[in-house]
Structure 1
Amino acid sequence: MNWKRLRTKVLEQYGPTDEEISELRKHYEKVSDIIESKYGLETHFAGSASRETCMTGDNDIDVFVLFPSKTSEEELKEKGLEIGKKVFEELNGEHHIEYAEHPYTKGEINGLEVEIVPCFDVEATDIRSSVDRTPHHSRWVQNNLDEKQREDVVILKAFLTCAGLYGSSLKVEGFSGYSCEILIAEFGSFQELMEEAKDWNGDTVIDPENHHEKLPESLENKFSGDSLKIIDPVDPERNVTSVLSTENYAKFIYSCWRMSEEPGMDFFTVEETDVTEFEISQELEKHGDFLVMEFDTVDEVEDIVYPQMRKSMRALNAEFRRHDFRVYNSGFFVGEDRIKIFFEVEMDLPEIKYVEGPKVYHNFKHMSQFQSKYENTFIKGERIYAKTEREFSDAKRLLKAKMEKARKLGVPERIADELNEFRFTEPTDGSDEWLKYLAEKLYITGDQ
């Protein structure tokens, strides 16, 4: 399919209508009028709806309340919540309080999701909290994207959504909406981005305002662990894609390569994994041994649970490797009431282990050190070896023993407390969502 026709078809499916944009703006103005008339404070319409880069059906309205820079932190918090509650009451909406660097109100008004966020009205060089950047982000996008490019941002968001790469939460570890806007502004169009990104390497820097050339070495080092560095146009000390995982970055490059090779609507269709328990059972027979354990879901927000689970998985995988067990695959699934962890692992090892020591040639110091650690030593070839018994020869017993001391492995406290109550389960026991997740981890689909 040629790019022009593809662009038209994608926008027909994912582009917001003029009516949608107009309706969202009208609701923003209602909220803004209440805040300005009752409190005398200006507001800023933020988010993709304000910039017309939202996908159809995106019903989010982000209203930032601009407090003078001389306002105290405490006053901003208290007044910000008071304003938010008042707006929801006036417009017959339901709301609750959420927390970022400071609290804000979030809820629903006439079927739309509304956030009312207090921030300081300051210059970009003088931000006091991360939300203070948002109005500057909006203004930068407004000044750097034309109408066609806004449409290309929508196309990019749809592309990333269907690839499972859209979202900057710590659950997804993908691309934010703002990063999509910067990418289109930088490369000019979705097509050009696809052509360029397929050749990216592991140290790509995108710096629209050329901040990076001016940064001292200490700030360059700050970004050294990030595969993709998109320097925030309004804050040179921030990488917009710092949350992007290495694997998701690789998936993005791969998807761009495939898209540039053969553009088509397949890349804008969410592939639903629909496999049966029987199909998964058959697939498992072709794999190594599986260990699946579950425990109660931790009562924390996703941005806490997911990083803690990743840290826990690193610790558990390290224990398997330390005791010589090969792990072929592993993962975790966070359900509504259960967290599941799985390992495709070498289940049994010989009880006897042979430890390789140094070569014998004029290496008396090292041989003496080796000999002092082990009793049963012998020569094989040019080296000294030791015969010893493994602490664990059964993977399940190792996992069970380590769970009893999870905190000592570096597993976060809340996760460790729940892990103490874990139980082993069969791989196919669980919800449909768990089975779908397992199918994806095993790289199987329902049509094979």
Structure 2
Amino acid sequence: MKILQEIKPSEKEIEKSNKVLISLVKDLKQNLKNCSIVIGGSFAKDTWLSGNHDIDLFIKFNYLKFKDKDISEFLKNNLKKIKYKIVHGSRDYLQVKKKGFQFELIPVLDIKTISQAKNITDLSPFHTTWVKKNVKNTDEIRIAKKFFKENELYGAETHLKGFSGYTIEILVAHYKSFYNLIKSASQWKKNEFIDTKKYYKNKVLGLKNINKARLSTLIVIDPIQKERNTSAALSNKNYNKFIQLSKDYLRNPNEDFFKSKKINFKLIKENYKDSKIARLKIKSLKEKEDIAGAKILKVQNHIYKKLKNEGFTVHDHDISWNGKIVSYFIIKDEVLPDYKKHYGPPIKENKHLELFKQKWKDYKLKNEGPRVYIEIKRKHKKLKSFLKNLLKKDSIIKNNVRKIRLKLL
């Protein structure tokens, strides 16, 4: 495939990466004499994409000596003359920048069996080993990763709800190639079950053994941990999106599927002729990506609820994370009535009903089914004034994004 020429690192890029890597490892070994340093992630698996200069380094600590100790703290305290940034998580890790590369220094216990793991990150070296043993052609994974990335399906973080890199690697290993994965995915149904190690005789037995909180519309059994579903974070929306993209690709395979796409607002306008599009350009807070992303998602859902509660008809809403963050809402173009219903408690809740009456004693109380309501005058009947006021004054929005800019289309 032509796309492979663009995404596969050149010999020159590999040589430069190795040079910087060797230099950093040398510095680390001088500071961490009692630890072993192992390359991990896509760099170790040889599945990294050209231009992606993030490299994982596992800092392995002796299990018996450190199993009950804070190895993150030990790592921080023993790095001298190396500048780093702390990234908080279930176990803190460090980021080090060097000559255009970003290294993740991930402290793990040097375990021999899965049961010894004290944290999910302790299992990461096992993932690397499995992929290296079971993927015959790493270029197939490169192609798959590019496909998922450009179609905004890559990443299992809370705000993305897509496919993790490890899940993609398992799928490519299971189906042997990117094309076979696409061909099979086009036929996937709800609760597709993939068990590449054949831990379970059938799907029913597999579902019984997986943590119920980790079930999702796609079940991909972790080949090194049979109770774990690696695709637990995947949303139904993104699962269905991938199935449809697979069908589209099979009908007309071309390079456009591997290119980043801007939101086609013109097409949206054609499909929703009676509506306005509220486009929001957002700058995230300067925090860890998944934390900042989760806060943007919180803002998105908050705006949606505010619009609905005010009485606006919201047809759809979404966020694009590729490059600059763009959020949008498709809202019926209308002027709302002068008055809106403000609901109180159910009629049978006497105590709360009395409090509601006292608070709104100057308003006529009305019934609607089991609840009461009053009619109050709207402050904003038009979409533009409502949104401008909301974005300017709402504390949830102001506290969870760095900057947000509105344009109505």
TM-score by length of 1: 0.68
1:111 correspondence with 2:91 = no
Residue 124 (structure 1) aligned to one of 90, 114, 118: 114
Structure 1 unmatched ranges of 5 or more:
1-6, 354-373, 378-383, 407-413, 429-437, 439-448
Residue 222 (structure 1) aligned to one of 190, 213, 234: 213
Deviations 1:288-324 (A, max 9, x none): 2466789996565442343344345445545655676
Distance 2:298 2:206 in 1: 31
Partner SS, residue 63 of structure 2: coil
How far is 1:158 from its partner?
A: 1.5
Q: Decide whether the 8 Å contact of 1:24 with 1:49 is kept in 2.
A: no
Partner SS, residue 180 of structure 2: helix
Distance 1:323 1:183 in 2: 45
- Match in the other structure for 1:434: none
Partner SS, residue 57 of structure 2: strand
Q: Decide whether the 8 Å contact of 2:210 with 2:227 is kept in 1.
A: yes
Q: Decide whether the 8 Å contact of 2:53 with 2:102 is kept in 1.
A: yes
- Match in the other structure for 2:124: 134
1:241 correspondence with 2:241 = no
How far is 1:282 from its partner?
A: 8.5
Aligned residue runs from structure 1 range 24-173, under 5 A: 24-36=17-29, 39-70=33-64, 71-72=66-67, 74-83=69-78, 85-86=79-80, 89=82, 94-122=83-111, 123-146=113-136, 148=137, 150-173=138-161
Distance 1:284 1:260 in 2: 26
- Match in the other structure for 2:358: none
- Match in the other structure for 1:304: 291
* Segment drifting more, 19-28 vs 152-161: 19-28
Deviations 1:406-431 (A, max 9, x none): 7xxxxxxx726648xx99x8625xxx
Structure 2 unmatched ranges of 5 or more:
342-363
Distance 1:186 1:284 in 2: 39
Are residues 229 and 336 of structure 1, via their aligned partners in 2, closer, same or farther at CA, if it must alter by over 3 Å?
closer
* Segment drifting more, 195-204 vs 67-76: 67-76
Aligned residue runs from structure 1 range 27-426, under 5 A: 27-36=20-29, 39-70=33-64, 71-72=66-67, 74-83=69-78, 85-86=79-80, 89=82, 94-122=83-111, 123-146=113-136, 148=137, 150-211=138-199, 217=208, 219=210, 221-224=212-215, 226-272=216-262, 286-289=273-276, 300-314=287-301, 316-318=303-305, 320-321=307-308, 325-331=312-318, 342=329, 344-345=331-332, 346-349=334-337, 390-391=375-376, 394=381, 415=396, 418=399
Deviations 1:258-315 (A, max 9, x none): 111221222223335699xxx7999799442466789996565442343344345445
How far is 1:48 from its partner?
A: 0.7
Distance 1:334 1:272 in 2: 10
Partner SS, residue 181 of structure 1: helix
* Segment drifting more, 315-324 vs 74-83: 315-324
Deviations 1:33-88 (A, max 9, x none): 444465132221101111111112222221111101120554512321244x34x6
Q: Decide whether the 8 Å contact of 1:298 with 1:415 is kept in 2.
A: no
**Code of the aligned partner of 1:236:** K
CA RMSD of aligned residues (A): 4.5
Q: Decide whether the 8 Å contact of 1:203 with 1:229 is kept in 2.
A: yes
Q: Decide whether the 8 Å contact of 2:109 with 2:117 is kept in 1.
A: yes
Aligned residue runs from structure 1 range 424-439, under 5 A: 427-428=407-408
Q: Aligned pair count?
A: 379
1:15 correspondence with 2:8 = yes
Deviations 1:109-158 (A, max 9, x none): 23222222211111222211121111000011111111x2x110011111
* Segment drifting more, 111-120 vs 323-332: 323-332
Are residues 300 and 28 of structure 1, via their aligned partners in 2, closer, same or farther at CA, if it must alter by over 3 Å?
closer
Q: Decide whether the 8 Å contact of 1:198 with 1:253 is kept in 2.
A: yes
How far is 1:325 from its partner?
A: 4.1
Rg larger in 1 or in 2?
1
Q: Decide whether the 8 Å contact of 1:24 with 1:61 is kept in 2.
A: no
Q: Decide whether the 8 Å contact of 2:211 with 2:228 is kept in 1.
A: no
Q: Decide whether the 8 Å contact of 1:44 with 1:63 is kept in 2.
A: yes
Q: Decide whether the 8 Å contact of 1:297 with 1:335 is kept in 2.
A: no
Deviations 1:358-400 (A, max 9, x none): xxxxxxxxxxxxxxxx9889xxxxxx9x998755774759879
Distance 2:17 2:294 in 1: 34
- Match in the other structure for 1:432: none
How far is 1:227 from its partner?
A: 1.9
How far is 1:332 from its partner?
A: 6.0
Are residues 312 and 254 of structure 1, via their aligned partners in 2, closer, same or farther at CA, if it must alter by over 3 Å?
same
How far is 1:341 from its partner?
A: 6.9
Are residues 175 and 338 of structure 1, via their aligned partners in 2, closer, same or farther at CA, if it must alter by over 3 Å?
closer
Q: Decide whether the 8 Å contact of 1:76 with 1:118 is kept in 2.
A: yes
* Segment drifting more, 190-199 vs 327-336: 327-336
